[in-house]
Amino acid sequence: MSKTKSPKTRSVLPKNYLREFSSITSLHGIMYLGEPNRPLFERMAFLNHTHSENILQKNESVWTPENRYSINATPFDLPWRVTGDTIENAVRLVFNLKNTNLGGHCPETDSGLTIIVHNPADTPIGMKPTAYVTRNNMLSISLSIVVIHTSPKITNWTPKNRNCYFQNEKKLKFFKIYTSHNCEVECRANNTLEECGCNAYFQPRDPNVLVCGSNSTDCVRESMTIGYSIFDKQLKKLNNMDGCECLPACMDIRYDYETVEFFRNWTTNSTSLKINEDKSMVMAYYRRKLAVSIQKSPLMPFSELLGNIGGLFGLFLGCSIVSFFEIIYFFVIRLYFNQRDRRMAKSKIMPNIILDE
């Protein structure tokens, strides 16, 4: 089916390799996530799915967005760590896309793969595809990372005021790591269950929840959107997702990417892989070693606010903290000295002597 090759590692057979990967059902069908044992979500929803035996259990995650890798992490734990930003450090995936014996439901004109680049903590449900690679082609994906931090100065703020959640502030039912995307996926699944009494085949669900059939297609579509269409004559009840409060995560990772697909002139000198026109290669690498870091911090801390208020008084009123002490000086201390001076002046006045003639 496919072969996978990474730098400084040997090629492994696809069946043995994909058994270690987690499968998930989405709008694009059965998808294999690039993370063996997939410890990032609970998998409560996929116990009844086909290929569920490929989903292996793992008790804990060795990586979280806030704490990074744990002490017990090994070099091959997911997400994989790269050593550089050159082509030699790229991850190369070779796929066999032979379009024979695919069945009557698959197109015979061409075959390909859909690639989705996403945050390691996100589950690719409802995401837009990054690129599409066809037979006998090579797809190059150049990545750059944008890391969003949150300043410790606003940790004591409420999530609504800081507009983000830390991992210990909001827990999800189907996912171990909170992200706004995972929260929205779970929120739509809850809306579908409430409106339709079932869940779509690509939505997370409890094992005892029914899968919606073709008769519930319209209900599922309306429950996943706002429930409004310009073709409706009457305004229906809107499905507002604000009640789920899916704020962004305070620590988030985003990818900027550029894709280039071109015809691959496969060489016949390769001894490691027998490549023919049915093969396709996907090569992903980082554009640069450094990541773009964005920090969410308070616009004006209290100390700076207090200093600016004093500066504004000095600018518009001609006063400052020294001016307030001057007021105290003139109204208290100066008054005391003025009274004392008057008493001393009275004591020095000579009495008037009137001489009789």
The tens digit of pLDDT for each residue in 168-201 reads: 899 888 888 899 999 999 999 998 999 899 998 8
pLDDT at res. 53:
38
Question: Cβ atoms within 10 A of the Cβ of 81, count?
Answer: 11
* Mean of pLDDT values over 200-225: 86
What pTM was computed for the model? 0.66
* Mean of pLDDT values over 42-51: 39
Angstrom distance (rounded) from CA 26 to CA 45: 12
Contact 8, 88 (CB under 8 A): no
Is residue 226 predicted with pLDDT exceeding 70? no
- Determine if the peptide bond prior to 79 is cis (ω within 30°): yes
Angstrom distance (rounded) from CA 191 to CA 194: 5
Query: Is residue 166 very low, low, confident or very high in pLDDT (cuts 50, 70, 90)?
Result: very high
HSE, CB side, 13 Å, CA atoms: give it for residue 9.
16
Which contacts qualify for 266-270: CB closer than 8 Å, 24 or more apart? Answer: 266/136
* Mean of pLDDT values over 38-65: 48
Query: Is residue 21 very low, low, confident or very high in pLDDT (cuts 50, 70, 90)?
Result: very low
Q: Show the tokens assigned to 143.
A: 């990545």
φ and ψ of 212, to 5 deg:
-65, 135
Is residue 286 predicted with pLDDT exceeding 70? yes
Q: Show the tokens assigned to 210.
A: 């029914």
SS3 state of residue 354: coil
From 125, 249, 108, select the one nearest 178 (Cα to Cα).
249
In sequence order, the 6+-apart residues with CB closer than 8 A to the CB of 268 are none
pLDDT at res. 112:
78
Higher pLDDT, 8 or 37: 37
β-pair type (63-64, 68-69):
antiparallel
Is residue 288 predicted with pLDDT exceeding 80? yes
Query: Is residue 270 very low, low, confident or very high in pLDDT (cuts 50, 70, 90)?
Result: low
* Mean of pLDDT values over 238-253: 80
Mean pLDDT of the chain: 72
Higher pLDDT, 173 or 225: 173
SS percent in the chain: helix, strand, coil, step 5: 25, 25, 50
pLDDT at res. 311:
60
Higher pLDDT, 264 or 233: 264
In sequence order, the 6+-apart residues with CB closer than 8 A to the CB of 257 are 117, 130, 141, 142, 143, 144
Higher pLDDT, 199 or 100: 199
Question: Cβ atoms within 10 A of the Cβ of 116, count?
Answer: 16
Is residue 41 predicted with pLDDT exceeding 50? no
φ and ψ of 112, to 5 deg:
-165, -175
Q: In this prediction, what percent of the chain has a pLDDT beyond 90?
A: 7
Lowest mean pLDDT among 161-165, 240-244, 302-306, 317-321: 317-321
Higher pLDDT, 46 or 198: 198
The tens digit of pLDDT for each residue in 84-99 reads: 777 778 888 888 777 6
From 49, 144, 97, select the one nearest 277 (Cα to Cα).
97
SS3 state of residue 315: helix
pLDDT at res. 120:
84
The tens digit of pLDDT for each residue in 290-329 reads: 888 888 888 777 677 766 666 655 555 555 667 677 777 7
Higher pLDDT, 238 or 46: 238
The tens digit of pLDDT for each residue in 131-153 reads: 888 888 888 899 888 999 898 88
Angstrom distance (rounded) from CA 140 to CA 187: 35
Query: Is residue 109 very low, low, confident or very high in pLDDT (cuts 50, 70, 90)?
Result: low
Write a three-state SS string for 102-143.
Answer: CCCCCCCCCCEEEECCCCCCCCCCCCCCCEEEECCEEEEEEE
From 306, 261, 293, 285, select the one nearest 136 (Cα to Cα).
261
